[in-house]
A and B are shown apart, each in its own frame.
Chain A
């Protein structure tokens, strides 16, 4: 699988039927989304994945505040889903539609009980404005070097 510098591709195989894989990824997003990766100031009450084109993926805080960080571009259960990524590199919301990237997820039934999930996050260079802030957030280039080494070690361990 080739991966260009402006897109990120990841895939994983899960030992569940395709319907369940799709359902957990979309409707059940709160059950797996990294808990520290939320934009709201308030504690998270729920994550909502609106199951239709034009819908949003959003976080809702316990105080009722909402953060719509994605717009659903394609919704074809249980085969694929595509959405924009309106999150800047500093984990702030990006409002300029020219500066959002997009994520496509495909679900492939390998057997009745096994599903391959392929994810592509593309046009990531569109987040250009956030790079400077990201640099500040991650610190010196040495900070990246350490992160990269840790990442490589993790990857090698799996």
Chain B
């Protein structure tokens, strides 16, 4: 799914920078994690948080501007859910890291027996 962003149109990329900044705030990160767990209304998200409902709404607006959450109406309620776009940069970063690392792991694991890594003779150049 991460590959999809590669072909996304130019107009949508600026959200990446906003997304990165939006999550720098601890309260917003908590709200984001709750939304990530389950799509929720503002009142549900505010429950148990030491901030007012309007403050939660304001945080949600910042998260939405950053492309991290999106909102849809269900009857007279606004339900917030995760918007995958904003988290994608981090996702792709780590995906790339692990893909590359596992390839290196495979190469190390499959070395011929004569060149095997031995715990008592650590290979320090790697």
Contacts and interface: CB of A to CB of B under 8 A. Distances in A.
Contact of B94 (A8, A11, A155): A8
B110 A8 contact: no
Contact of B124 (A6, A24, A45, A128): A45
B101 A125 contact: no
A12 B102 CA distance: 7
Interface stretch (B17-25, B39-47, B54-62, B72-80): B17-25
Question: Interface centre among B33, B105, B107, by most A CB within 10 Å?
Answer: B105
B16 A127 contact: no
Nearest to A132: B24
Interface in A115-158: 117, 119, 121, 124-129, 131-132, 134-135, 138, 140-142, 144-145, 147-149, 151-152, 154-155
A128 B87 CA distance: 10
B99 A144 contact: no
B108 interface: yes
A40 interface: no
Contacts, number: 149
Interface string B56-92: 0000000000000000000000000010100111111
Given A45-B124, A131-B23, A125 B29 contact: yes
A14 interface: yes
| Interface size of A as a range | 35 or more
Given A28-B117, A28-B119, A128 B23 contact: yes
Contact of A134 (B91, B93, B124): B93
Contact of A46 (B16, B89, B124): B124
A32 B91 contact: no
Interface string B6-27: 1000000110110111011010
B49 interface: no
B6 A128 contact: no
Given A14-B109, A134-B89, 20 more contacts: A3-B1, A6-B91, A12-B106, A14-B105, A14-B110, A25-B109, A28-B108, A28-B119, A32-B104, A33-B126, A34-B101, A37-B97, A124-B91, A125-B23, A128-B23, A131-B90, A138-B93, A141-B16, A147-B96, A148-B3
Interface of B: 1-3, 5-6, 13-14, 16-17, 19-21, 23-24, 26, 29, 32-33, 36, 82, 84, 87-110, 117, 119, 122-124, 126
Top 7 nearest A-B pairs by Cβ distance? A128-B23, A131-B20, A32-B108, A5-B87, A135-B20, A32-B105, A31-B108
